[in-house]
């Protein structure tokens, strides 16, 4: 059902033909860098909080 609806929808070309390729490439690389930075920071923060919580839990259990 979803495939039929997607097939019936008009084609969307978000990047005009006159848009500079170097600007698009810079945007894409910056987007990837932003995603890497975001997930790295979230992962490190979660890891630090989880380690602290697990140390407290084992200290209480002992």
Residue pLDDT, tens place only, 13-33: 888 999 999 999 999 999 999
- The reply to whether 59 falls in a domain is yes
- The reply to whether 4 falls in a domain is no
- The reply to whether 1 falls in a domain is no
Residue 11 has pLDDT above 80, yes or no: yes
The boundaries of the domain holding residue 47 are 21-62
Between CA 7 and CA 18, with CA 13 as vertex, the angle to 5 degrees is 160
What CA–CA distance (Å, rounded) separates 15 from 52? 47
What CA–CA distance (Å, rounded) separates 57 from 18? 59
The number of domains in the chain is 1
pLDDT tens for residues 37-58? Answer: 999 999 999 999 999 999 888 7
What CA–CA distance (Å, rounded) separates 4 from 42? 38
Confirm whether pTM is higher than 0.85: no
């Amino acid at each position: 059902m979803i495939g039929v609806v997607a097939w019936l929808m008009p084609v969307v070309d978000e990047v005009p033909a006159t848009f500079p390729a170097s600007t698009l490439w810079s945007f894409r690389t910056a987007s990837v860098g932003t995603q890497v930075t975001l997930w790295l920071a979230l992962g490190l923060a979660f890891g630090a909080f989880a380690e602290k919580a697990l140390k407290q839990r084992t200290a209480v259990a002992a």
